Structure 1
Amino acid sequence: MTPDLLPLSHAVAALCRQAGQFIRQQVTDFDASKIESKGLHDMVSYVDKESEKMLVAGLQQLLPTAGFVTEEGTVANTEASQTEYRWIIDPLDGTTNFIHGLPCFAVSVALARGNEPVLGVVYEVSRDECFRAAQGHGAFLNEQPIRVSTADKMDNTLIATGLPFYKFTHLDAYLRILTEFMQNSRGLRRWGSAATDLAYVACGRFDSYFEFNINSYDVAAGVLLVREAGGRVTQWLADGDPVFNREALATNGLVHDEMQAVLKQHWGEGFQW
């Protein structure tokens, strides 16, 4: 059964707002003693887990045949070969920001057919901003249409990225890339939420975003937002799958080749994770 993506996107946005309301309430009530560690500098809280449970329960009702890819594992993850559609969920993207009281964190939900996102919602909790897209129907911020920026040279761009926080291999190459982008743009920003970074590319606040060693639940919804807003999203060095291949370059399309050339120069061909 093929879901009707446009009304489904509205229903998913409502679920994300509900989860966001719960997260917003926890900002003042948060119990830091319940923080858990998933690995080096990689934290999770009961807020992440409860938000994910809420989303899973709601999404199961909306599309019972779909599988799941979730960050916190509150439901069994599904392989693409097992089902036509999968929900890809980050219940609290920007956990470190949330724990430290910084105001950038988001709920991110995508629906993928195979590995291709066909629906995406990013709800940035602090600003009460809901970004929504359904394949073929455009992208919206609080129900107003959005488009990527019109900057046509890297010199005129503001670039978003994420910084390594637990895996530091290839750091020298990454620092060379940062150096070149810093010297040839209006600046770099590290917001701390990949989902928000991509949503901001979609609405033109950022002109581009790049990051490596990322997960599907970090970027799946944002990838569709950028594409539906007129932008381009690929892997760093080629036009491969940016959702499941652990790296993404998202731009307004106009500066994509220029940025990709920098990545190819310093990252090198044939890099393997």
Structure 2
Amino acid sequence: MNLIHNFAHILEKIKSDKPLVHHITNYVTVNDCANAVLAIGGAPVMADDPREVEEMVSIASSLVLNTGTLNNRTIESFILAGKKANTLDIPVILDPVGVGATTLRTETVKRIIDEVKLTVLRGNMSEIMNINGTKAITRGVDSTDDTMAGGREVAQSLSKRLGCVVAITGATDIVSDGTKVYYIQHGHEMLARVTGTGCMTTSLIGLCCGTKEIPIYGAMLGIVVMGAAGERAYEENVDEGVGSYRVKLMDAIGNFSVQQINEGEKIYEG
């Protein structure tokens, strides 16, 4: 079964099942994350109060944890919702935004990893290196490291250690389940000029994994949707500004099809 077939199958399940993605995410990008999930055919819910997260995740298809805007309430909710999801075999996707930038972020991510079984860990190279115990500089939510400089080894070894899929996003995206390693080169540099495209990618991964298909393919498809949409939005937005690009990006996510995927050239196993 080739990648295109796997991706098409996941998209069909999204359209038919409309997976509910429970987000405990950051308020900078929450609206765009919700709209990205809606655009591709899923259903988002944003609930972060400790008094309801266990009940909410119980009716969800997947759980997305995003550390972009931390506070004591959301930290408690991460753990409560994550543990509940584990008991119900609901996929948990972690986006460790800014880990390594502050002690609070680093300790929070460590606690989540220690107490919650992850399905997918998605971050930029600096974030993943910090989690792996490799010294890296994190500037806010931005990465200062290149995925191609040791990214394969980091993704594969961390995946084996944590027992989850590890996805490192950057100019070249690297995804590993500890055995297989895939490279994805769909995308456009304009994506880096729109806040929240990483968070939206994680939400799309959550949606794809909510179909309960093989996690590595769900992780890859979420990344591919954002990358291919970024390319399509740029084609529709040449010589226009970031604002119109952002609008066209959401349109492109909603109009995504597997015909846009360039397997073999832009997606390959390494």
Q: Given the two structures, how large is their TM-score scaled by the length of structure 2?
A: 0.28
Structure of higher RCO (CA pairs closer than 8 Å, 6+ residues apart): 2
Q: Given the two structures, how large is their TM-score scaled by the length of structure 1?
A: 0.28
- Decide which structure has greater strand share: 1
